[in-house]
């Protein structure tokens, strides 16, 4: 057998990795000590050509299937890890065949759910993670993807302005179809509810869940959150012909949820007295796309919403409502956002990604202003935040040496 590498842009440095050694036995000098979630397969992180890659040892046919599935999900702009390569045809030093390896890019500033519970987080962390997972599941279902193994363990989370954004990690069991039936969607939701309850019970047994939290009650959140969001995005609305303003209101309500309407189906009855509307194509990322267009910043949806609010406040405070929006956005980026994010000392720069740091500085300024009963300049808030708050936060770009199996009991003082 010959070593075979499948990749859209293969890196010759892949040949330097110890493919003749089982992944579990790879030497420490090849590995990056990043937090790992629970997996049925052996997973390791490696540094290669200035990037960090996740390597999962798995059967060859499953590795190739998942690689192509992740590529297809990426083409649909669905939140998932980015596939890098598949290496198969491996032989051990004893001449026996070894499983193939699926390689994906590490998602910066993302964490497995168990690592999040190793930090001093708010008591409602579990419900916020489930909420993010429900939103992810809605987006996947709208794209025609049936997951088949929905769980917190198969998801990575990034902070998103006080909430979380969820990304699919494991697509091993998934299927991509033109459209999912109600039964297929319900099956995924039921799998999610059962898996989440079990994962939270595991945390509870290890003393990592607040004492007043009910794993079953929290797991049920995914059902109500999913059904509410799915209904808002897909339900057919019927109203009188004289209420045509409700078409615009429906679009604005979807924008507030963070979705754009790419196609809307509008029909009338025979006598024209009633109108029926139904979104046919909705696309997530309304606020992030607007911010990207105005400033070039590519951030999560809630972060974009918060940054746009600050941009609007800046525009009003400067009395520049009549000025071109893009010119005002450039000035805000130059005089407000970049001075804040670039003022963080280098040794603290890996704590939070820039957009999340800016959001936290805004929050900190609000609390300072409440306490002082006066307006607080953002530079004053930044100095206080960097001095008193940021140093105590974990380094989320690369949390070294975290063992997600043996984690300490945490404090819930946030």
Q: What is the mean pLDDT of residues 63-70?
A: 96
pLDDT confidence of residue 414 = 33
Same domain, 100 and 114: no
Angle between helices 354-372 and 378-388 (to 10 degrees): 100
Domain stops at, among 51, 73, 105:
105
Q: What is the mean pLDDT of residues 87-111?
A: 92
Same domain, 215 and 145: yes
Q: What is the mean pLDDT of residues 186-213?
A: 88
Q: What is the mean pLDDT of residues 250-271?
A: 81
In a domain, 406, yes or no: no
Could you tell me the pLDDT band of residue 31, with boundaries at 50, 70 and 90?
confident
pLDDT, one tens digit per residue, over 308-336 is 999 999 898 888 888 899 999 999 999 99
Same domain, 374 and 264: no
pLDDT confidence of residue 37 = 59
Could you tell me the pLDDT band of residue 252, with boundaries at 50, 70 and 90?
confident
In a domain, 134, yes or no: yes
The CATH number covering residue 81 comes to 3.30.200
| Angle at CA of residue 81, ends 351 and 253, nearest 5° | 85
pLDDT confidence of residue 413 = 32
Domains held by the chain: number: 4
Same domain, 30 and 78: yes
Q: How crowded is residue 124: how many other Cβ atoms within 10 Å of its Cβ?
A: 13
Same domain, 309 and 329: yes
Contact between 108 and 353 (Cβ < 8 Å): yes
Using CA atoms, how far apart are residues 246 and 338, in angstroms rounded to an integer? 40
What is the 3 state secondary structure string of 380-413?
Answer: HHHHHHHHHCHHHCCCCCCCCCCCCCCCCCCCCC
What whole-number percentage of the chain has pLDDT above 90? 53
pLDDT confidence of residue 24 = 92
Encode 345-381: b = buried (16+ Cβ within 10 Å), e = exposed: eeeebbbbbbbbbbbbbbbbbeebeeeeeeebebeeb
pLDDT, one tens digit per residue, over 405-414 is 333 333 323 3
pLDDT confidence of residue 205 = 85
Same domain, 228 and 125: yes
Q: What is the mean pLDDT of residues 119-140?
A: 84
Residue 207 pLDDT greater than 50, yes or no: yes
Same domain, 225 and 241: no
**Can you tell me which residue has the tokens 């071109």?**
324
User: What pTM was computed for the model?
Assistant: 0.81
In a domain, 219, yes or no: yes
| Domain interval for residue 161 | 110-232
Strand partners, 55: 44, 103
């Amino acid at each position: 057998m010959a070593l075979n590498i499948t990749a859209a842009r293969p890196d010759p440095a892949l040949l330097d990795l110890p493919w003749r050694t089982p992944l579990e036995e790879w030497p420490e000098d090849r590995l990056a000590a990043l937090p790992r979630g629970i997996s049925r397969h052996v997973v390791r992180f490696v540094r290669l050509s200035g990037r960090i890659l996740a390597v999962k040892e798995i059967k060859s046919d499953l590795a190739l299937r998942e690689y192509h599935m992740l590529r297809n999900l990426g083409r649909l702009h669905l939140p998932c890890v980015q596939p890098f390569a598949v290496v198969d045809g491996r032989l051990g030093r004893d001449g026996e065949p070894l499983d193939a390896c699926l390689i994906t890019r590490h998602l910066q500033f993302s964490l497995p759910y168990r690592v999040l519970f190793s930090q001093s987080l708010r008591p409602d962390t579990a419900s916020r993670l489930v909420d993010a997972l429900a939103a992810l599941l809605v987006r996947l279902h709208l794209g025609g993807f049936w997951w088949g193994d929905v769980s917190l363990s198969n998801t990575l989370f990034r902070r998103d302005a006080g909430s979380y954004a969820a990304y699919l990690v494991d697509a091993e069991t998934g299927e991509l179809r033109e459209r999912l039936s109600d039964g297929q969607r319900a099956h995924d939701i039921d799998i999610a509810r059962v898996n989440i309850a079990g994962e939270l019970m595991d945390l509870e047994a290890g003393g990592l869940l607040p004492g007043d939290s009910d794993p079953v009650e929290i797991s049920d959140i995914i059902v109500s959150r999913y059904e509410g969001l799915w209904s808002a995005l897909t339900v057919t609305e019927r109203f009188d012909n004289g209420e045509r303003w409700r078409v615009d209101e429906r679009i604005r309500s979807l924008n507030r949820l963070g979705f754009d309407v790419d196609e809307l189906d509008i029909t009338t009855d025979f006598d024209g007295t009633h109108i029926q509307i139904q979104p046919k194509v909705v696309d997530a990322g309304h606020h992030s796309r607007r911010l990207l267009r105005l400033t070039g910043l590519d951030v999560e949806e809630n972060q974009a919403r918060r940054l746009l609010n600050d941009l609007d406040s800046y525009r009003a405070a400067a009395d520049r409502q009549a000025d071109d929006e893009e010119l005002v956005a450039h000035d805000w980026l130059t005089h407000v956002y970049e001075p804040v994010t670039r003022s963080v000392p280098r040794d603290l720069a890996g704590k939070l990604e820039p957009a999340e740091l800016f959001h936290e500085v805004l929050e900190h300024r609000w609390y300072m202003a409440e306490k002082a009963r006066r307006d607080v300049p953002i530079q004053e808030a930044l100095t206080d935040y960097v001095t008193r708050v940021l140093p105590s936060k974990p380094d989320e770009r690369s949390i070294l040496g975290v063992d997600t199996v043996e984690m300490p009991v945490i404090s819930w003082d946030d």
